[in-house]
């Protein structure tokens, strides 16, 4: 029997058949068993007002040994906790690719809400950020590979997603708690929402910004922070987001915060944000190699960036970061797939002959085992006028 109730009447043990009334920009369309009071709280946060329950599917709630969400049914958008187990890069890449696309879609939706100044359901990007961390737990290299796959017109969508991925890896590397890593990744995912308020002619200007244009650009931080203050994000997250352009010498913006007044999360966000911006391909310029970006980060430390954190960030990513391109001693190009014990001998996928200027059948080589070939230097795709995106997407599709 289907019965209409209000959200205040919903209790664990009920089966949600349909959401009937909900306020807010993002909608819930799933059905499932309500197994805890946390599920009720989540639905309230999502703006659910009235819903239909199926009384014939009522059940007895047993005390869970760990937090449980709504059990999945067909079409359900609720998620259950996932126990992350270590898996191979090959197995995780396909999942990570789907997650990466989902992240871009969520980022696009959030930016649209900021543009319209309408609220969003914070539980959706929060749950997504948690999924990123779970993927990093299973295999940290899969999502890092995907940070190198860029569409020049999607920079605003991809940048925050990539920063979230970088921070999830960085936080794990530093031994932070799961909750701290999830919050750090979440801050990265939301840190640039205010840029949607910046005029396109300034945001996408290929040349150097004038002083007046730069002042307008700097406003993106406050736009984002003011918007997020109306959400249920905790103040530490909003503080970190507000600090991603602050610098230790006090010459950053928007507040000119300096030294120890900048939180550790803010310092980490500043490093990841700057690194991804430097290595990103844009419509008007090719991204630089990771090695050149590392050099710039180090030149900004310790005066502007936290030197210890910069060094740890570089160590986290490795001399040749996962997803980056390298030229081998046999005149072939390869993508770095996995770090090994020695930072100079990673696992790579060879795919292009520089000597003959043509693609090769992709082949994995563990440089820590095969001593007949070595890395000459790091390179970028534009140096050879090749499309890495197409190659990588094919390699993911075939596992």
Cα three-residue angle 140-141-143, rounded to 5 degrees = 85
pLDDT < 70 stretches in the chain: 24-30, 61-84, 152-153, 390-399
Which residues fall within 8 angstroms of residue 223, CB to CB, at 6 or more apart? 114, 193, 194, 195, 197, 198
**CB burial class (10 A; 0-12, 13-18, 19+) of residue 43?**
buried
Distance, CA of 87 to CA of 270 (rounded, Å): 31
Distance, CA of 336 to CA of 345 (rounded, Å): 10
Q: Note the pTM of the prediction, 2 decimals.
A: 0.77
pLDDT, one tens digit per residue, over 259-292 is: 999 999 999 999 999 999 999 988 778 899 999 9
pLDDT of residue 69: 34
Distance, CA of 95 to CA of 151 (rounded, Å): 20
Tokens of residue 375, six digits: 């890395």
pLDDT of residue 64: 40
pLDDT of residue 352: 94
Cα three-residue angle 254-163-365, rounded to 5 degrees = 150
pLDDT of residue 395: 55
Domain boundaries, the chain: 2-57, 89-317, 325-397
* 89-317: CATH superfamily: Hypothetical protein af1432 (1.10.3210.10)
Tokens of residue 234, six digits: 């905790």
pLDDT of residue 77: 35
pLDDT, one tens digit per residue, over 346-377 is: 999 999 999 999 999 999 999 999 999 999 99
> Could you tell me which residues are beta bridge partners of residue 4?
52
Helix 89-116 to helix 178-190 angle (10° resolution) is 50
Cα three-residue angle 103-75-128, rounded to 5 degrees = 20
Three state DSSP letters for 51-116: EEEEHHHCCCCCCCCCCCCCECCCCCCCCCCCCCCCCCHHHHHHHHHHHHHHHHHHHHHHHHHHHH
pLDDT of residue 78: 34
């Amino acid at each position: 029997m289907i019965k209409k109730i209000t959200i205040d009447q919903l209790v664990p043990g009920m089966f949600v058949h349909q959401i009937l009334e909900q306020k807010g920009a993002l909608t819930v369309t799933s059905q499932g068993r309500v197994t805890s009071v946390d599920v009720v709280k989540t639905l309230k946060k999502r703006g659910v007002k009235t819903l239909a329950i199926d009384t014939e599917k009522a059940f007895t709630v047993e005390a869970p040994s760990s937090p449980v969400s709504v059990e999945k049914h067909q079409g359900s958008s609720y998620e259950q906790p996932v126990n992350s187990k270590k898996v191979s890069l090959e197995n995780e890449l396909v999942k990570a690719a789907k997650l990466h696309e989902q992240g871009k879609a969520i980022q696009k939706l959030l930016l649209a809400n900021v543009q319209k100044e309408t609220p969003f359901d914070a539980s959706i990007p929060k749950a997504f950020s948690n999924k990123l961390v779970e993927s990093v737990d299973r295999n940290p290299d899969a999502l890092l590979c995907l940070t190198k796959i860029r569409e020049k017109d999607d920079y605003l969508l991809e940048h925050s997603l990539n920063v979230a991925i970088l921070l999830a890896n960085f936080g794990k590397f530093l031994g932070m708690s799961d909750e701290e890593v999830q919050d750090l990744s979440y801050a990265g995912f939301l840190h640039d929402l205010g840029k949607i308020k910046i005029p396109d002619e300034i945001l996408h200007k290929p040349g150097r910004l004038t002083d007046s244009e730069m002042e307008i650009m700097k406003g993106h931080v406050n736009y984002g922070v003011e918007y997020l203050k109306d959400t249920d994000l905790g103040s530490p997250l909003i503080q970190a987001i507000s600090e991603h352009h602050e610098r230790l010498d006090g010459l950053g913006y928007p507040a000119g915060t300096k030294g120890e007044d900048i939180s550790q999360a803010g310092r980490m966000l500043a490093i990841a944000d700057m690194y991804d911006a430097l290595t990103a391909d844009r419509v008007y310029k090719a991204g630089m190699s990771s090695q050149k970006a590392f050099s710039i980060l180090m030149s900004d430390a310790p005066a502007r960036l936290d030197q210890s954190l910069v060094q740890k960030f570089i160590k986290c990513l490795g001399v040749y970061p996962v997803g980056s391109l390298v030229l081998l001693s046999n005149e072939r190009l390869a993508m770095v797939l996995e770090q090994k014990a020695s930072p100079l001998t990673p696992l790579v996928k060879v795919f292009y002959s520089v000597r003959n200027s043509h693609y090769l059948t992709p082949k994995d080589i563990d440089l820590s085992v095969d001593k007949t070939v070595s890395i000459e230097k790091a390179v970028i795709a534009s140096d050879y006028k090749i499309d890495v995106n197409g190659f990588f997407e094919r390699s993911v599709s075939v596992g």
